[in-house]
Amino acid sequence: MRSDVKHIDPVSVDKIAEDKSLQQRDKQHLWHPLTQHKIHPEALPIVKAKGAVLYGDNGKEYIDGIASWYTAMYGHCNDHILKRVGEQMQQLDQIVFAGFTHEPAIKLSEELIKILPNNQQKIFFSDNGSTANEVGIKMALQYHFNKGEKRNTIIAFEDGFHGDTFGAMSASGLSVYNGPFEDFFIDVKRIPTPSSDNIEDILSLLLSIIEQNNVAAFIYEPLVQGANAMHMFEPEHLDKILEVCKTHHIITIADEVMTGFGKTGKTFASEYMQIQPDIISMSKSLTAGFVPMAVTSCTQNIYDAFLDDSVGKAFFHAHTYSANPIACSVALAGIELLLSHEYQDHIKRITSAHQEFNDRIKNHSKVKSTRQKGVIFALDLNIEMDRYGKKRYEIFDHFMQRGIFLRPLGSTIYILAPYIINTNQLDSVYDAILELLEEL
Ligand SMILES: *Cc1c(COP(=O)(O)O)cnc(C)c1O
């Protein structure tokens, strides 16, 4: 019997590649995110990752001080998760989620509802943090539409970050690089992040925005703004803003893509507030660095606004890989780890290590300010720097030469390491920062 499948000889494929380095081959066809290729043509090849360590093709090891954008919080290639994914891969890989269902998604919805703030009732799947927010924004807009109200304005924080698709990008105030797209944005009004100095002003600004516009939703990162250099604010101030939104039937959307799954010391940062959001978006460590997936959860009230005898009021948003069973199995295994005593102890251990480190450096002459929430620690250097300027790359190199992967945001250095980072590894990260402070 003749096989129609073309036989691919892996040896011959390898042969083409063997006389060129990964770095050279990378440059031929790849286009990297957030990269000006004319100035920064080189990308460092990583061949392996395990626990808190990345292995370069140059033979060097790097401690992953930011858990690869806070995804691999349980450690890279975590054995418990690997086992679960392996089992799931033998069982069911992918199925259309419109009209079909499967146990990994059902079980994940049950487990998420157990750990989410208790007003959350429904789970909607998508692929990444941007789409999770896109879904949240669309849900909020259609919620009002379905109720016969025309509401088209979104309120968001200045300097917030919600992703790079159009809705999410419109809501992102941190848009220095969004110039080419601004003409196409949805209508967003901005308020500053709150502090005890400005909260009263913010509340009056909020009220005037509400008076002059038809506000559909308020989207915010609860307590910590990741991309905005880990800027932090207080729960009681956010509560006051949320209270005004609730009073005016404005749908509140908590973007927990960064803060979710234990990083602030609680499972979700929203737990620090008295008032719970209508919608919560999550991704990143939801799938522990293994595969992309995202979830947007909402209240029964939001969900009910889409129920009708006609199809027209349904939520017609779908991604092909919605609720991919393999991704769901990863998320389930991740939640098991998060809730275990072992990981809860890790979170406490890192939190107090950061506090001690903070005491050591907060008065250093090169340190302008420091802040911490749970395992998230950030310090601002006492120097002026561009977000992607030359100095920023020098500092990045300083860490890499010492085997530490940290990704400075302008003059801010932050640590958000995997929960399993051990004390020695964490000390190496601190030491590299101390050395930098001495050398500056
Ligand atoms: C990373 C991030 C996003 C975007 O998620 P992607 O998966 O990169 O699309 C949105 N919001 C916050 C708070 C994030 O940290």
Cβ distance 193 to 158 under 8 Å?
Answer: yes
Residues 325, 367, single domain; the answer is no
Cβ distance 296 to 126 under 8 Å?
Answer: yes
User: Which residue has the CA at smallest separation from atom 11 of ligand 1?
Assistant: 162
Flag whether 151 is in a domain: yes
Read off the pLDDT of residues 100-158 as tens digits, 9 standing for 90 and up: 999 999 999 999 999 999 999 999 999 999 999 999 999 999 999 999 999 999 999 99
Residues 260, 393, single domain; the answer is no
Residues 277, 314, single domain; the answer is yes
> pLDDT band for position 323 (50/70/90)?
very high
- Quick one: pLDDT at residue 118? 97
**Ligand 1 centroid distance, CA of 4 (Å):** 43
Residues 22, 158, single domain; the answer is no
Q: What is the DSSP string of 27-75?
A: HHH---TT--TTT------EEEEEBTEEEETTS-EEEETTHHHHT-TT-
Residues 20, 100, single domain; the answer is no
Pair of tokens at residue 219: 């989207």
In the block, which residue shows the tokens 């995804």? 71
Flag whether 1 is in a domain: no
**Ligand 1 centroid distance, CA of 287 (Å):** 13
- Quick one: pLDDT at residue 40? 83
Residues 121, 225, single domain; the answer is yes
Long-range contacts of 393-398 (CB under 8 A, 24+ apart): 393/40, 395/436, 398/432, 398/435, 398/436, 398/439
For residue 327, give every residue at least 6 positions away whose Cβ sits within 8 Å of its Cβ, in sequence order, or none.
287, 290, 291, 292, 293, 321
Indicate the residue among 339, 369, 384 that finishes a domain.
339
Return d(Cα 375, Cα 72) in angstroms, integer: 14
> pLDDT band for position 3 (50/70/90)?
very low
Read off the pLDDT of residues 290-316 as tens digits, 9 standing for 90 and up: 999 999 999 999 999 999 999 999 999
Index of the ligand 1 atom closest to the CA of residue 292: 7
Cβ of 231 below 6 Å from ligand 1: no
- Quick one: pLDDT at residue 392? 86
Cβ of 221 below 6 Å from ligand 1: yes
Flag whether 225 is in a domain: yes
Q: What is the CATH number of the domain that holds 386?
A: 3.90.1150.10
- Mutational pocket test of ligand 1: of 66, 70, 258, the residue with most ligand atoms within 8 Å of the beta carbon: 258
Residues 240, 189, single domain; the answer is yes
- Whether residue 275 is predicted with pLDDT greater than 70 in this model: the reply is yes
Read off the pLDDT of residues 32-74 as tens digits, 9 standing for 90 and up: 998 989 988 789 999 999 999 999 999 999 999 999 999 999 9
- Whether residue 420 is predicted with pLDDT greater than 50 in this model: the reply is yes
- Quick one: pLDDT at residue 7? 54
Indicate the residue among 339, 354, 383 that finishes a domain.
339
Residues 315, 423, single domain; the answer is no
Flag whether 398 is in a domain: yes
- Quick one: pLDDT at residue 178? 80
Q: What is the CATH number of the domain that holds 116?
A: 3.40.640.10
Flag whether 67 is in a domain: yes
Dihedral sign for Cα atoms in the order 22, 24, 30, 34 = positive
- Quick one: pLDDT at residue 175? 63
For residue 308, give every residue at least 6 positions away whose Cβ sits within 8 Å of its Cβ, in sequence order, or none.
146, 314
User: What number is the average pLDDT over the span 325-345?
Assistant: 98
How many distinct structural domains can be found in the chain?
A: 2
Index of the ligand 1 atom closest to the CA of residue 165: 9
Residues 134, 165, single domain; the answer is yes
Give strand pairing partners of 251: 217
> pLDDT band for position 8 (50/70/90)?
low
Cβ of 255 below 6 Å from ligand 1: yes
Index of the ligand 1 atom closest to the CA of residue 227: 15
- Mutational pocket test of ligand 1: of 32, 283, 416, the residue with most ligand atoms within 8 Å of the beta carbon: 283
**Ligand 1 centroid distance, CA of 72 (Å):** 14
Flag whether 3 is in a domain: no
- Quick one: pLDDT at residue 1? 45
Cβ of 283 below 6 Å from ligand 1: yes
Residues 174, 315, single domain; the answer is yes
- Whether residue 333 is predicted with pLDDT greater than 80 in this model: the reply is yes
- Determine the structural domain holding residue 432 and report its residue range: 10-77+341-439
Residues 254, 117, single domain; the answer is yes
Indicate the residue among 317, 339, 361 that finishes a domain.
339
Flag whether 4 is in a domain: no
User: What size, in residues, is the chain?
Assistant: 440
**Ligand 1 centroid distance, CA of 212 (Å):** 30
Residues 292, 147, single domain; the answer is yes
Long-range contacts of 204-209 (CB under 8 A, 24+ apart): 206/155, 206/241, 206/244, 206/245, 207/244, 209/153, 209/155
Flag whether 252 is in a domain: yes
Read off the pLDDT of residues 235-253 as tens digits, 9 standing for 90 and up: 999 999 999 999 999 999 9
**Ligand 1 centroid distance, CA of 288 (Å):** 14
